[in-house]
């Protein structure tokens, strides 16, 4: 029998993008026929999709690490790299995706609902795509971006029409087995059921689902027992059914007291959940009371005794026996009636609205901030474009570094650095974390095709063309004269010693 797992931590990572190719087309009588390096392929993404055939998160409990395939590298002769296939992970209906901090990222309800957990990285451009009238034969290509990596928490909130709540051993699992074809484990356990049980009930033309919610004891809303692990399964139900044990032998237990305790726990839990999608608050949903185990003579007498008090509270009361199936048929049709009314009163699903958020005219797409870490001062550049360009740059290629400088200058990064107070030699950090790039900033004085005359893979701006100052020239002349004087003195000493003489 498959185990029921309703909460897992998923470690997902998208595939890396393939690197672009730097290649020059060569053929007979055309040794340099232009760049022909292809682009790298995009990496695959990790996507969650609701599958009605999946009822548990057990697969991700055993294998929580999932990685999408990466794209391949581009090749010469304009051959593109292959794209990594998306990794589609099926999840049950009613799965809630949360961050590790508890923020709700997605609520997957309905077959086919999707959520992208980790996007794949973009492939790098080859030198054929980077060529332009000014840069006709680039000697570099862009690197592929690494895929996103994210840890998310998957929680399953059972989508059932009827939720059975009550104390342990009240007969909830037995009622599910008696009303449907489900066959949960049933015995005289001194503890609660460890997993929720779900069953489908057919009452005439109506069909609905019933789930028992185990783990409800005094203090369950505060985390005692297994209450918090399973209380979330009542959030999506339309009807709450209190299953009260009329044949319990525990001291201090009676149907009215059990009802008050469970109602208090549900009310305490309802204050901590957010109702979404127009659902009725938990404390306002229809309720029924089932007095179970009336096949026992003492239990039948107790049921007849407490029934008037329960009906005085406005609750519909049904006396049943899961052992003899007495009273089950009226209960199933009454639940079908209430579920049908709840479905008719539910708001019609609205079409997904497409929200367009255009960027402002003066929005640069990046920020430059002056940071102070003790005595250490630096300038941090954050933004999707600069950080993506840095990840795509091959810093072992001078021409690629020069291309990055041109892109940053056209974007306006240097202007923002000047406005923030940066001077030549200031430390600049692009990005954040271990993937950030740190360098000493030198303002770009000129950029353009006049700097592209060097060999491929080089950039004249990165070469040292500085002229010596007057002081440096004086120092160099003095060192040269001192060296000549020392050489003359050494020759004269050797001559006096007779080591060599003229013919």
Q: Which of 70, 78, 5 is nearest to 43 (CA)?
A: 70
114, β-bridge pairs: 49
| Mean predicted confidence (pLDDT) in 386-397 | 89
Q: Which of 97-106, 252-261, 345-354, 471-480 has the weakest average pLDDT?
A: 345-354
**pLDDT at residue 412 tops 80:** yes
Which residues fall within 8 angstroms of residue 268, CB to CB, at 6 or more apart? 221, 222
Name the band, by pLDDT with cuts 50, 70 and 90, for residue 426. confident
Backbone torsions φ then ψ of 159, nearest 5 degrees? -95, 100
Per-residue model confidence as pLDDT tens digits over 314-329: 888 898 888 888 888 9
Model pTM above 0.75: no
CA 129/CA 19 separation, integer angstroms: 13
Pick the residue with more confidence: 365 or 240? Answer: 240
Which residues fall within 8 angstroms of residue 454, CB to CB, at 6 or more apart? 460, 463
Q: Could you tell me the two tokens for 417? A: 């650095």
DSSP state of 449: G
pLDDT at residue 147, as a whole number: 92
Q: Would you say 24 and 33 are in contact if contact means Cβ atoms under 8 Å apart? A: yes
Strand order in the sheet with 95-99: 65-67, 7-13, 149-156, 95-99, 104-108
**pLDDT at residue 191 tops 70:** no
**pLDDT at residue 481 tops 80:** yes
């Amino acid at each position: 029998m498959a185990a029921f797992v309703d909460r897992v931590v998923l470690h997902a990572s998208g595939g890396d993008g393939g690197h672009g190719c730097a290649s020059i087309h060569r053929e007979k009588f055309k040794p340099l026929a232009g760049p022909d390096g292809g682009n790298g392929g995009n990496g695959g993404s990790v996507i969650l999709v609701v599958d009605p055939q999946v009822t548990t998160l057990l697969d991700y409990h055993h294998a929580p690490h999932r990685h999408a395939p990466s794209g391949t590298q581009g090749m010469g002769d304009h051959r593109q790299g292959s794209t990594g296939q998306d990794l589609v992970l099926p999840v049950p209906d009613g799965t809630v995706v949360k961050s590790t901090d508890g923020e709700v990222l997605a609520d997957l309800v309905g077959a086919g609902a999707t959520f992208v957990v980790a996007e794949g990285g973009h492939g790098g451009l080859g030198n054929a795509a980077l060529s332009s009238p000014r840069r006709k034969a680039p000697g570099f290509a862009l690197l592929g971006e690494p895929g996103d990596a994210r840890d998310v928490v998957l929680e399953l909130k059972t989508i059932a029409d009827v939720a059975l709540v009550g104390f342990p051993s009240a007969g909830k699992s037995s009622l599910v087995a008696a009303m449907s074809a489900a066959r949960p484990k049933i015995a005289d356990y001194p503890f609660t059921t460890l997993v929720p049980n779900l069953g489908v009930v057919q009452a005439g033309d109506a069909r609905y689902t019933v789930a028992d919610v185990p783990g409800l004891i005094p203090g369950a809303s505060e985390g005692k027992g297994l209450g918090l692990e399973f209380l979330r399964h009542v959030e999506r139900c339309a009807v709450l059914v209190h299953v009260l044990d009329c044949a319990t032998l525990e001291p201090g237990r009676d149907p009215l007291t059990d009802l008050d305790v469970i109602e208090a726990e549900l009310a305490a839990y309802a204050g901590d959940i957010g109702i979404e999608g127009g659902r009725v608050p938990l404390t306002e949903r229809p309720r029924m009371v089932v007095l179970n185990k009336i096949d026992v003579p003492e239990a039948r007498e107790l049921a007849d005794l407490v029934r008037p008090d329960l009906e005085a509270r406005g609750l519909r009361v049904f006396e049943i026996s899961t052992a003899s199936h007495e009273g089950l048929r009226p209960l199933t049709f009454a639940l079908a009636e209430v579920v049908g009314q709840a479905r008719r009163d539910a708001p019609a699903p609205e079409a997904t609205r497409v929200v367009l958020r255009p960027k402002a005219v003066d929005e640069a797409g990046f920020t430059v901030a002056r940071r102070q870490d003790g005595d250490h001062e630096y300038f941090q550049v954050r933004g999707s474009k600069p950080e993506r360009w840095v990840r795509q740059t091959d810093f072992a290629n001078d021409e690629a570094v020069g291309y990055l400088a041109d892109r940053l200058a056209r974007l306006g990064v240097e202007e923002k650095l000047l406005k923030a107070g940066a001077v030549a030699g200031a430390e600049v950090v692009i990005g954040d974390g271990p993937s950030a790039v740190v360098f000493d900033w030198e303002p770009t004085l000129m950029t353009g095709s006049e700097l592209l005359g060097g060999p491929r893979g080089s950039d004249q701006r990165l070469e040292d063309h500085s002229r010596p100052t007057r002081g440096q020239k004086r120092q160099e002349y003095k060192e040269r004269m001192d060296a000549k004087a020392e050489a003359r003195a050494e020759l004269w000493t050797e001559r006096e010693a007779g080591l060599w003489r003229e013919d």
